[in-house]
Amino acid sequence: MTDLKAEEKIKKAASEVFLLKGMDGARMQEIADRAGINKALLHYYYRSKEQLFQSVFEEKLLNFLPKIFQIFHGDQSIEEKVHVLADRYKDFLKLNPELPHFVLGELQRRPDRLFAKIDARLSMNLDVIGLQLKKEAQEGRIRLIDPKHFIANLISMIVFPFVASPLFIKVFNYDKEEYFDYLDQRKKEVPAFVMASLSV
């Protein structure tokens, strides 16, 4: 087993355990067992659970959020951005369905721990999207809206069906395949709703 392969196994196992149990509920022995290695080797790569946690979720967030921020900062129209964001966010969350639960839980317990080492790549320049919203409002294409409300409205509509997935599945009487079909439909419904809310 090469060093790279061992570390990949550790990160994959740690991601699964952290997502299911959170930082506080995870145990290094369980991560080692899931990775198929002994605990001594796990500690060789990561001296503490906190170090492993930070490594795993920095990687996840830094692989995804900058791509989202690039869309907000891009040259597309507001409507085009809404469609692209809904599509990419849904695809990412379908591959990482437990991530919203985990992030919300950690934000409640220890927000400082979750973002302790996250660097400037996670910062968003609200001036860019704010100026675009203002420009399109002046042109009569949308109503004027604060960029903070625009972003919160859009992201919450995308993320909430994942956070409340057990409720949606129960209330709508969905099986797993039907629920994923519903999420795919949301890729069209969310942009349509958001753009309707911005109409003048």
Tens-place pLDDT, residues 43-75: 999 999 988 988 887 777 777 777 788 888 888
In the chain, the percentage of residues whose pLDDT exceeds 70 is 92
Sheet strands (E) in 127-179? none
Distances (CA, A) of 34 to 7, 23, 97, 145: 13, 16, 19, 48
Reported as a pLDDT band with limits 50, 70 and 90, residue 116 is low
pTM: 0.75
How buried is 40 (Cβ within 10 angstroms: 0-12 exposed, 13-18 middle, 19+ buried)? exposed
pLDDT above 90 (res 143): yes
Q: How many CA atoms lie within 13 A of 165 on its CB side?
A: 21
pLDDT above 60 (res 8): yes
Return the number of other C-beta atoms located less than 10 Å from residue 3's C-beta.
9
d(CA 18, CA 114) in angstroms, rounded, equals 12
